[in-house]
Structures are given as structure tokens and as C-alpha cells.
């Protein structure tokens, strides 16, 4: 029986430290735990200025690892490119720091096979465990969750965790409606999907905060708020008539 295809996109920006350690770790995990799939890792470089391209090209010499170079920054831009170009059945992504415990990744794919259109790792769902997270980030995360759930009555709690999977056919319908190319991409994708009737399954995970994260919390939070207001006005899920 032919194996189903799986793309694991890993967006990176100036990650010369984590790349040579975590890509082999991820590859070994997929080889061991996802052997029933025709999987690939796609390193998507968001215009890095350090040795990320050099390390990525070397890692991509392997049969199952590809490297894409973008000339502009933006996690959303990276994911949209990698997912749109993929021919695999299941599309996914995770952060290069591997903050989300890899043992939960197969659960995302099983959720898709069980009927979900999108499966997301959640740090806020019952049963999830979060370690070493600064209090200010925890408060902001829960506050943001309360905000978007109050505005859109969504079925999910954690929009921004970098640990998600989506069916190829669902991505083909949703991605053209997503405008944001940065950190709000995740929220926009999920809100549009939820309001348009796609099934989202939230998987509680174990997550450990990365102290070396370069995410600017205040700037990201303001961008998220502006994005939510834009969605309230535009309501792009109403344009889901191109099926």
C-alpha cells in the first residue's frame, strides 16, 4: 500500500545554533516514529543573515530534507510557501527550538486521519503541561486566548503554538484567504478555518519554554490585536465560495 505523504516545515531565521542539533534530532524521530509515511523536512529560511543558509544546505544534502530560501522575513510567508508547494497529503510545521515535545507529533497526524481538517498542539487545553515559561508570557497567552475566543467564539484555545498540521485539501481552500505573513498567520488561519466550518482538533501537549527565543512579545501582541480587528471588519471566511 502506498504511503501517505507528510511535509514538516521548519521556519528559521538566524538559527545557526539550533539547526545542526535539532534538524538531525527531528529527522531521527520521524524515521523512527513516522516510518509509515512518506515524510520530508523543509527548512524554510526567512532571509537569515548568519550561517543558517550554509548549515541548511549541508543538512539538505540528505534525501528527505529540503531547503527553501526566502528573501523576506515572516513565519506566515514561510509556511504559505512551503505548504503551497508541497504535494504531500498532510502538511505540518514546528519551531526549530523543538519546545513542543516531539512525542505528541504523531497525535496531530492521527487526528487528521480521524477526520480533523486541522490539528494543533495546545498549551492551554486541559491536560497540557508547560515548563519554564515566564509569568508575563503566560498571562499574555491566556489573555490573548480570552480575547480572540470572546470576539470570534472559536472552538480552540491556543492559536500561536508552533506545532500544527493540516490536510492538503483544507490548506488549498484556506491559504488564499490568509493575508498575514508574520506571527498572526496562525491565528488568522485558524479563525478563518473555524468560522468557515473546518474541523479543528486541539491536542494538549508538553511544552518547554525556550529562553533564547527572539520573539518580541509586545510587538507581536500589538500585531495580533490589529489582526483580530482586521478580521472582525473583513470577515474573509464569507468568501469561502470558491470550493
Q: What is the pLDDT of residue 41?
A: 98
The partner residues of 208 in beta bridges, in order of sequence, read: 131
Q: What is the pLDDT of residue 241?
A: 45
Vertex 41: Cα angle to 37 and 45 (nearest 5) = 160
Burial status of residue 208 (CB atoms within 10 A of its CB: 0-12, 13-18, 19 or more): middle
Q: What is the pLDDT of residue 243?
A: 41
Query: Pick the residue with more confidence: 221 or 174?
Result: 174
d(CA 198, CA 239): 14
Residue written as grid cell 512518506: 38
Residue written as grid cell 515524510: 39
Query: Pick the residue with more confidence: 203 or 222?
Result: 203
Average of per-residue pLDDT across 57-69: 94
pLDDT digits (tens, 9 = 90+) for 13-36: 999 999 999 999 999 999 999 999
Q: What is the pLDDT of residue 222?
A: 83
Q: What domains does the chain contain, in order, with CATH numbers?
A: 4-239 (3.90.550.10)
pLDDT classification of 213: cutoffs 50, 70, 90: low
pLDDT classification of 217: cutoffs 50, 70, 90: low
pTM, full prediction: 0.93
Q: What is the pLDDT of residue 239?
A: 74
CB 132 within 8 A of CB 50: no
Report CA-CA distances (Å) from 80 to 9, 34, 180: 10, 23, 10
Average of per-residue pLDDT across 63-70: 95
Average of per-residue pLDDT across 55-63: 93
Q: What is the pLDDT of residue 63?
A: 86
CB 220 within 8 A of CB 186: no
pLDDT digits (tens, 9 = 90+) for 69-124: 999 999 999 999 999 999 999 999 999 999 999 999 999 999 999 999 999 999 99
* Residue 240 in this model has a pLDDT that exceeds 60: no
Q: What is the pLDDT of residue 164?
A: 98
- What percent of the chain is modeled with pLDDT above 90? 87
Average of per-residue pLDDT across 58-72: 94
pLDDT digits (tens, 9 = 90+) for 120-176: 999 999 999 999 989 988 999 999 999 999 999 999 999 999 999 999 999 999 999
Q: What is the pLDDT of residue 216?
A: 59
Amino acid at each position: 500500500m502506498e504511503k501517505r505523504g507528510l511535509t514538516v516545515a521548519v521556519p528559521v531565521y538566524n538559527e545557526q545554533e539550533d539547526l545542526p542539533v535539532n534538524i538531525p534530532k527531528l529527522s531521527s524521530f520521524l524515521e523512527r516514529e513516522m516510518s509509515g509515511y512518506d515524510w520530508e523536512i523543509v527548512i524554510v529560511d526567512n532571509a537569515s543573515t548568519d550561517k543558517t543558509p550554509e548549515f541548511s544546505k549541508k543538512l539538505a544534502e540528505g534525501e528527505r530534507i529540503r531547503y527553501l530560501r526566502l528573501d523576506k522575513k515572516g513565519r506566515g510567508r514561510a509556511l504559505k510557501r512551503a505548504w503551497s508547494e508541497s504535494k504531500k497529503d498532510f502538511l505540518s510545521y514546528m519551531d526549530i527550538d523543538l519546545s513542543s515535545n516531539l512525542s505528541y507529533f504523531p497525535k496531530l497526524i492521527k487526528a487528521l486521519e480521524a477526520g480533523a481538517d486541522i490539528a494543533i498542539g495546545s498549551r492551554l487545553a486541559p491536560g497540557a503541561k508547560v515548563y519554564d515559561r515566564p509569568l508575563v508570557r503566560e498571562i499574555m497567552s491566556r489573555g490573548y486566548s480570552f480575547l480572540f475566543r470572546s470576539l470570534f467564539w472559536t472552538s480552540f484555545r491556543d492559536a500561536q503554538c508552533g506545532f500544527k498540521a493540516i490536510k492538503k485539501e483544507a490548506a488549498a481552500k484556506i491559504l488564499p484567504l490568509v493575508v498575514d505573513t508574520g506571527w498572526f498567520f496562525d491565528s488568522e488561519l485558524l479563525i478563518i478555518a473555524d468560522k468557515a466550518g473546518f474541523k479543528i482538533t486541539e491536542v494538549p501537549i508538553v511544552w518547554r519554554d525556550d529562553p533564547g527565543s527572539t520573539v518580541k512579545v509586545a510587538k507581536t501582541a500589538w500585531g495580533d490585536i490589529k489582526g483580530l480587528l482586521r478580521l472582525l471588519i473583513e470577515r474573509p471566511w464569507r468568501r469561502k465560495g470558491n470550493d
